[in-house]
């Protein structure tokens, strides 16, 4: 079996040209890099997970956020209700 040898410089030039093309398309599309990443992420989600699964994942994510909100609200309320704690009195113990 004969393996074709690819010239490293040619391959590097091809890859750099592809990267340049992708960067130009990203900048000329009017979208930010973040929007491009989000678009790619959601396209991947649509390809990997069926509609029913995505529906449950979205609901689970919402529930997690609501749990975090509930936790924070609880501690904020507690902080607002508690009077300022008096300074702790310390006792001196003589050590012989």
SS3 annotation, 6-71? CCHHHHHHHHHHHHHHHHHHHHHCCCCHHHHHHHHHHHHHHHHCCHHHHHHHHHHHHHHHHHHHHH
Statement: the pTM of the whole predicted model exceeds 0.75: no
Please report the pLDDT score of residue 76 as a whole number. Answer: 94
> Buried (b) or exposed (e) across 35-56, using 16+ Cβ within 10 A?
eeeeeeeeeeeeeeeeeeeeee
* pLDDT tens string 52-81: 998 999 999 999 999 999 999 999 999 888
Does 32 have pLDDT greater than 70? Answer: no
Residue ranges per structural domain of the chain: 11-48, 50-81
């Amino acid at each position: 079996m004969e393996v074709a040898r690819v010239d490293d410089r040619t391959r590097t030039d091809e890859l750099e040209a592809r990267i340049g093309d992708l960067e130009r398309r990203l900048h000329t599309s009017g979208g930010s890099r973040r929007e491009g990443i989000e678009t790619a992420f959601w396209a991947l989600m649509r390809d990997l997970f069926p509609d029913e699964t995505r529906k449950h994942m979205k609901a689970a994510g919402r529930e997690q956020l609501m749990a975090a909100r509930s936790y924070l609200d609880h501690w904020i309320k507690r902080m607002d209700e508690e009077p300022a704690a008096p300074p702790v009195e310390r006792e001196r113990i003589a050590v012989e």
